[in-house]
Every structure is written in C-alpha cells, then in structure tokens.
Amino acid sequence: MQPFDLIIRNANVVTASDSFPCDIGVRDGRIATLALALELKSARHEIDAAGRTVTPGGIDSHVHLDQATGDGSIMADDFESGTRSAACGGSTTVIPFACQLKGQSLRAAVDDYQRRAYEKALIDFAIHLIITDPTEDVLYRELPELIAEGYTSFKIYMTYDALKLDDRQILETLSVARAEGAMVMLHAESSDCIAWLTERLLAAGHKAPRYHASSRPMLVEREATHRAIAMAELVDVPILIVHVSGREAMEQIRWAQSQGLKVYAETCPQYLFLTADSLGSDNSFDGAKCICSPPPRDAANQQVIWNGLENGLFEVFSSDHAPFRFDGPDGKKAHGEDVSFDKIANGIPGVETRMALLWSEGVRGGRITPQQFVALTSTNAAKIYGLYPRKGSIAIGADADLVIWDEGRAVHISNEMLHHNVDYTPYAGMQLSAWPAITLSRGEVVWDGEPRGAVGRGQFLPCDSPAPAQVRRRKTELPL
C-alpha cells in the first residue's frame, strides 16, 4: 500500500454534524483515510494529536486585503501578512474582494487583484467581486464570464458614495445573479439616513470617533436590510446580509426566513466583544481603533447576537478584517487626529483572533456546540460560496485543512502575539482559554507556535455555483 505523506494520530475530530475519535491519513494534500488505528510506520511524517480536538480549517469568507480605499488610507495587510495571520489563527482559506472602481472594467479589477494574490498568499484563497459600476457591459458580458470562471459571489454596497448602488442598479445586478447562479452579499445601511445624521452631528460640533455610532443607529441597518430583502424577494434570488450588528436587522432577517425566503446572515466578533463604549469619549481619538460599519451596539445587544448564533439565524461568522494602522500617516490618522469621525478609515483587524474568540467564548463558554462552531467558521461558508466539500469538511477526498486545538490554558491577547501588520488589536487584554496549536493547509503545517509555509504556496480556488443559488425547479402537477 502506498504510504501516507502524513498521519495525524489520536484525533478527536469535530465536524459540523459529528464528533469521533480517529487517525487521519493524508496523501497528496488531501484526506485519504479516516480510521480508528492506522498501521504504524505507514507514513513519512506523523503528528500525535493526543486526544485534542481537530476541526476543519477555518474559512474566513469576509476579509479585506491589499484593497484600494480612495480616501488616503492604505490597508496594512497584503496577501502575505494577511494570510500568514489567518493561518496562525486557524484559518486555511480566505475570501477577500476584488473591488471595481467606478469607471473601471470589472475584469481589470480582477486581473490586478489576482496578480497581487498569486505572488504572496500562504494559504488558499477564493475571490469575491465588488460591483460599483454596473454598466451594461459589466452586467451582461463581464460578470457572466467571471462567474463561469469561478468568481461566483459578489458584494453590493448600499452606502459609501464611492461604492453604493441605487435600488434600480441593485435590482439589475440581482437579476444577473439569479440568471447565472451567483451569491450576492449586501452591506445593508441606509446611505441617505447616515448622510443626514452625519451633517447634523457635525453641525452640532459632535465629531469625536464615538459619534460614528450615533450616525449609524440600528434603524439605518434595519431599513436597508428590509429594502434588500424586498428586492431579493422581487427578483427571487438568495442574498446574504453581511456583518449584521444587532436586533433590529435580525428581526427583518428572521421574518424573511420565516416566509421561506433564501436570506442568509453573517455576523462578526466585534458585535460580540465590543460595544459603542469602545469608541471612546468626546475627548479621545483612541476610539478610532474600533470604528467599523455597522458600529458595535450596547452590551445587551451582544446577547442578542449570541442568541442568533445559537438558534441558527446566522450561517456565517467572519472577521470582516479591515486592517488600518492606528499610528502613522496612512491609517486611522491619515487625515490627522483633529478630524471628524466620518473622515476616519473604517474597519478593524480580526482575521487571526476570529476562531479562538468563538471557540473560547462560544464553545468553552457553553453558548454553542463544537458542531455549531465548525458550521459557523468553516462548513457553511464553504457551501454558501461554492467550495464544499473540498473545503469545510473532514472527509475522504477533502483538502487536509485542519486545526489541532490547544485548550485549557490561559491565553492573554496582545498585539505582540499576532502576525498581522496592524499596530493594535481591539481585543487586547482579553483572556481566552483556547488557541490553535497546529494549523495544516493541504497537509502542510503552516502554524505550530511559529508561522510556517512559503510565500506564494496558496492556491486560487475557483468556486462552483453556490448551493443556495442553484436553480431548483418546482415540481409540476402530475397529469390526471
């Protein structure tokens, strides 16, 4: 029998549906065998999991790496530092965004992004599209071509002047997604409401970072979520509402799901572990570290998000990693410290801490099961974005993307222990009880207490048509 390249012995495997003890045999980067006791000396290399939990590698399906901003700020992480940080935190696949600039060809945006990714990624990656200029050529030639090539998901913004589409443009874009079998992600916040509130806050002299939250109350997310659902219902297409922050948007999503609409939802660590108070006081710029959109809500809302993770409202738990340095001329302070909240780079880092935060506080905290953790951090994203079963599972034939967990010891989060290129983490000072001990990408160790793996070893993953977006024909009545 051909020897395995690697055997992971004495693993306590957890998938989205099961848990079981076994040895894992890996050959050519894929899982070749799952067995209770594989033969001794049948592998070139071995790792003894020693009864520790082994989960599928994480899929962080919402990250921003090396992405143009247009406001003078520069993202601190490129594909090298960003994917290294992801691997050290237990993620083995990331899905960042190729962002079309207004007036630019969508194809040109993808080609440029691929060039930067191929040279630097340490782990595997797929690519979402961001559509900001849905011309007839983009919608009816470029987008169908790109979907056929494996770019089967794209994001639409309902806010930000440089990115947003109006309702008619959204409807036209949703229609193409329906025809071509693509998954649509929506950033749901009401642009006009935000602009109106921002003008009045600034006129009253309220410009500190903390007023970012005041300019984006839950109702602006609720209104846009309601509108997005209505348009998706009209077109009859599945959508995923990204980075859902609180109760009011969740109520809209739950209503849609109760009606049988294919409306999916994602949330992020900032809505579990940060609050509006994290944005600081009137006299502090330090709160700029936690500016993101939608903003964190109050402490009571954190429990509402936990409830949504537990009861199945959310399918995906992503980081929405948007890495801007706090100090220096091109991050949060790109326009100085004496600047209004609407001029501060929007986003926070989190690709490395995502998995450990949810395992420690969710699973070990008794809020969700290990199987729910796997579904939220890996399996559901693989299915929703057309990567399953190659990714997101521990099964014969799947890529050997695996995390061996170290549990039960105190882990104090500090920025110094992380591997991103950002000079802070919003989760500094938190104490966790779990962290990835070993991360394997296609059977190769990329983290074992030290980052491993060669720059450029990551592979591009063309995505299949996502499961929710595949057309299912209704049964016709039988002839009498």
CATH (domain of 203): 3.20.20.140
Those residues whose C-beta lies under 8 Å from the C-beta of residue 224, and which sit 6 or more positions away, are 158, 159, 188, 189, 190
Residue 411 lies in a domain: no
- Among residues 395, 369, 428, 453, the alpha carbon closest in space to that of 92 is found at 453
- Among residues 418, 384, 389, 411, the alpha carbon closest in space to that of 401 is found at 389
- Count how many domains the chain has: 1
- Mark the ranges of the chain whose per-residue pLDDT is less than 70: 1, 471-480
What's the distance, CA 78 to chain centroid? Answer: 16
Residue 301 lies in a domain: yes
With b meaning 16 or more CB within 10 Å and e meaning fewer, what string describes 51-83?
ebbbbbbbbbbbbbbbbebeeebbbbbbbbbbb
Residue 356 lies in a domain: yes
Residue 112 lies in a domain: yes
What is the predicted pLDDT for the residue at 2?
Answer: 80
C-alpha–C-alpha distance, residues 24 and 438, integer Å: 14
Domain containing residue 344? 58-373
53: helix, strand or coil: strand
Are 57 and 378 spatial neighbours (Cβ–Cβ below 8 Å)? yes
What is the predicted pLDDT for the residue at 72?
Answer: 75
- Partners of residue 99 on adjacent β-strands: 130
Residue 264 lies in a domain: yes
Residue 429 lies in a domain: no
Residue 245 lies in a domain: yes
What is the predicted pLDDT for the residue at 68?
Answer: 81
Residue 342 is given by DSSP the state: G
Residue 332 lies in a domain: yes
pLDDT tens digit string along 275-292? 999 999 998 999 999 999
What is the predicted pLDDT for the residue at 472?
Answer: 52
Residue 141 is given by DSSP the state: I
